[in-house]
């Protein structure tokens, strides 16, 4: 292959070249680089599928014969090259007859070029062009272009609509998955932080894990008086149970969520002081859900949550997930009488130590 254009080198004044019927499939870019005076170029009866050789310098070119090749459409490079010649040489004629041209969305710019080009297309009204449905004669290329353009716009709209629909489906699906497993994802994230910065205490007994606290107390700030005046006295001072309270035991400098996850993970049980204030608190519900995740993913579904109903609450006031916990697991109500108070603290101590 003559990639450097040596075959026609120094033939500056040649005016006509005939390369027809040579089974040529591709013409090197620089083959005609020195043919500035070329007027007629015959490339008919070959196997050429596109014009990719340099031709913009052929200012005197008057006829380019491309009949009976394998051209389905012209590249942008070829169309621009022909138009640049036609602007300076209004006598340029190109013959594309006998080629299997295509008229579809892929060749839309080519069909538009046929409509707009200043280049004269020899016997253009006899060109055959294959559409998505059949083969037509390009007697009126302008109408053909309009028809294809409408089809392509409808296809484009359909493709855009389908793309948006698929993306929305994926977005909703991913959003649904993230929402469904939101607490698990949060738990995993904070547990990675906890285990990275706060290694667990080790025990000589591989089957028994050591805990820093007997119980983490999850409560609303509005119920602080009950926790510090009664819970601490009856469980920690009188019962010898080591409690973890956010106001007292959380490490300064750590973010709240990490402190909560660490406290639950390092406590044998989690005691929830349930009240209307608790349900209204964002951080209280975060503690509740983190304790649920700890129970499922770290303790092999061991029951570590124990609900204490500090004040009377009706079932209609409780969220579904709290009701499920009440129906499936143990809970205790704080009594209003002195005798019941003694029994209450004894039961709570047993629940924590169990």
pLDDT band with cut points at 50, 70 and 90 for residue 70: very high
- pLDDT above 50 for 9: yes
At residue 188, the pLDDT reads: 76
At residue 199, the pLDDT reads: 55
Lowest mean pLDDT among 163-167, 199-203, 230-234, 304-308: 199-203
pLDDT band with cut points at 50, 70 and 90 for residue 155: low
pTM over 0.95: no
Same CATH topology for 16-153 and 190-353: the answer is: no
At residue 203, the pLDDT reads: 47
What CATH fold (topology level) applies to the domain 190-353?
A: Rossmann fold (3.40.50)
At residue 157, the pLDDT reads: 66
3-state secondary structure 130-167: ECCCCEEECCCHHHHHHHHHHHHHHHHHHHHHHHHHHH
User: Which comes out higher in pLDDT, residue 152 or 36?
Assistant: 36
Domain map (residue ranges) of the chain: 16-153, 190-353
- pLDDT above 50 for 349: yes
At residue 46, the pLDDT reads: 96
Q: What is the mean pLDDT of residues 92-111?
A: 93
pLDDT tens by residue, 232-265: 988 988 888 999 998 888 888 788 888 999 999 9
Query: Cβ(273)–Cβ(223) under 8 Å?
Result: yes
- pLDDT above 80 for 159: no
- pLDDT above 90 for 187: no
pLDDT tens by residue, 213-227: 999 999 999 999 999
pLDDT band with cut points at 50, 70 and 90 for residue 350: confident
Does domain 16-153 correspond to CATH entry 3.80.10.10? yes
């Amino acid at each position: 292959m003559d990639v450097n254009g040596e075959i026609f080198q120094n033939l500056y004044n040649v005016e006509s070249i005939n390369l027809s019927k040579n089974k040529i499939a591709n013409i090197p870019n620089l083959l005609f680089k020195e043919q500035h005076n070329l007027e007629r170029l015959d490339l008919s009866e070959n196997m050429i599928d596109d014009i990719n050789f340099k031709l913009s310098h052929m200012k005197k070119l008057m006829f380019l014969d491309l009949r009976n090749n394998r051209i389905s459409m012209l590249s942008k490079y070829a169309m621009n090259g022909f138009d640049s010649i036609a602007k300076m040489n209004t006598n340029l004629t190109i013959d594309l007859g006998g080629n299997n041209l295509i008229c579809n969305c892929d060749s839309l710019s080519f069909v538009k070029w046929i409509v707009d080009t200043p280049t004269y297309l020899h016997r253009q009204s006899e060109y055959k062009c294959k559409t998505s449905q059949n083969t037509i004669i390009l007697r009126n290329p302008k109408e053909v272009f309009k028809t294809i353009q409408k089809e392509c716009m409808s296809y484009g709209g359909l493709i855009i609509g389908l793309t948006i629909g698929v993306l929305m489906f994926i977005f909703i699906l991913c959003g649904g998955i993230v929402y469904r497993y939101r607490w698990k994802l949060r738990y995993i994230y904070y547990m990675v932080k906890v285990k990275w910065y706060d290694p667990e205490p080790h025990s000589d007994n591989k089957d028994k894990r050591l805990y820093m606290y007997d119980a983490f107390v999850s409560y609303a700030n509005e119920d602080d008086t009950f926790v510090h005046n009664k819970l601490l006295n009856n469980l920690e001072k009188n019962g010898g149970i080591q409690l973890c309270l956010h106001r007292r035991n959380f490490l300064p400098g750590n973010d709240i969520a990490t402190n909560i996850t660490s406290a639950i993970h390092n406590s044998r049980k989690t005691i929830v002081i349930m009240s209307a204030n608790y349900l209204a608190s964002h951080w209280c519900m975060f503690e509740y859900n983190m304790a649920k995740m700890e129970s499922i993913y770290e303790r092999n579904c061991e029951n570590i949550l124990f609900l204490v109903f500090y004040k009377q609450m009706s079932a209609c006031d409780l969220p579904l997930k709290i009701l499920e916990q009440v129906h499936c697991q143990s809970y205790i109500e704080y009594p209003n009488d002195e005798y019941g108070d003694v029994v209450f603290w004894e039961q709570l101590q047993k629940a924590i130590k169990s």
